[in-house]
Chain A
């Protein structure tokens, strides 16, 4: 009869590929439960789930490369999910046609200002080139921002963190800032939420109303496409 050595059991568990996949699933469901119970927009499931995974990796000493290989069965679906973003965009087609020029002008001017200002301010304060290239696509949704950042010489995981921070800060500041600027048209408020704070801003916009939410989703998807198409071409 063999005797169980706790340390051996622990090592075998850690090294099994399913440990990474299981860890990700558990972390996500804990983060989701916390987000729903608290109702706080700041507790984004990606951010909390990521922090949980990072803490476990840090405490157990498992390196990121091993974790990534084990969890690849989950991560591989990011690609098809990115392709699927075309579906919500197509659903908003009628609204895009109605207010075509206001949307296009605001998106282009706002998008350029958004990327330009961030690069200018952070660059002036001496941020590293790789950090700047990860900051540039921060206004896009996460899968797009991560792909775009890698394409222009940034770091995908840094871009993911910047996207989360932008969404959280933008949504927290949004209502106050829009109030100061006297913006009360729901379409205008919604588009600004979508351009500046992507999915988190869209969730906030939906709380303000249906039209506001639709324009936020619209601003988020269209700016995502603009960033995906033009950022690699201009900065790449």
Chain B
């Protein structure tokens, strides 16, 4: 079951990578594969059991898979340290603004939609 789901995921990634090389150099292959899978699910209107199981397993261990590329920081620690103040201020300041802003905007929009629906009812 898990092997079947994994086969689908790998074939979709392969298809995405070929599309990336031939038609869409701006988008990474796995991302194109993800969009293809999403469209396929929309058409099929349900998630196959094999894919469901494989996905649960893969996403559970996603942190493990990401440790390998993340450890590459050892090769670019100079860049990180050189720009540390700019990075730290940029990260913190943008979060201080966007966290409350996104919540506030969403809340205003939801309340407006609910009021409209009440008016119609």
* Chain A residues within CB distance 8 Å of chain B: 24-25, 27-28, 31-32, 44-47, 49-50, 53-54, 57-58, 64, 67-68, 71-72, 74-75, 77-91, 93, 99, 101-103, 105-106, 109-110, 113-114, 117-119, 121-123, 125-128, 130-131, 135, 138, 142-144, 146-148, 150-151, 155-158, 160-162, 164-166, 169-170, 173-174, 177-178, 180-185, 187-189, 191-192, 195-197, 225, 228-229, 232-233, 236
Q: Which of A87, A148, A196 contacts B55 (CB 8 A)?
A: A87
A57 — which chain B residues lie within 8 A by C-beta? 71, 74
Assess whether B107 is in contact with A125, with CB atoms less than 8 Å apart: no
Q: Would A83 and B9 be within 8 Å (CB), given that A118-B90, A143-B30, A228-B28 are in contact?
A: yes
| Chain A residue at smallest Cβ distance from B38 | A86
| Chain B residue at smallest Cβ distance from A102 | B109
Give the top 10 A-B pairs by smallest Cβ distance, nearest first: A122-B90, A157-B72, A181-B100, A183-B103, A102-B109, A125-B86, A192-B103, A80-B9, A82-B30, A188-B107
Interface bin, chain B: 35 or more
Bound Cα distance from A20 to B82, whole angstroms: 29
Assess whether B92 is in contact with A79, with CB atoms less than 8 Å apart: no
A-B pairs under 8 A by CB, number:
309
Query: B1-53: which have CB < 8 Å to A?
Result: 6, 9-10, 12-13, 16, 26-31, 33-35, 37-38, 41-42, 47, 51-52
Q: Which of B33, B51, B106 contacts A191 (CB 8 A)?
A: B106
B67 touches A (CB below 8 Å):
yes
Assess whether A113 is in contact with B91, with CB atoms less than 8 Å apart: no
Bound Cα distance from A178 to B100, whole angstroms: 5
A109 — which chain B residues lie within 8 A by C-beta? 105
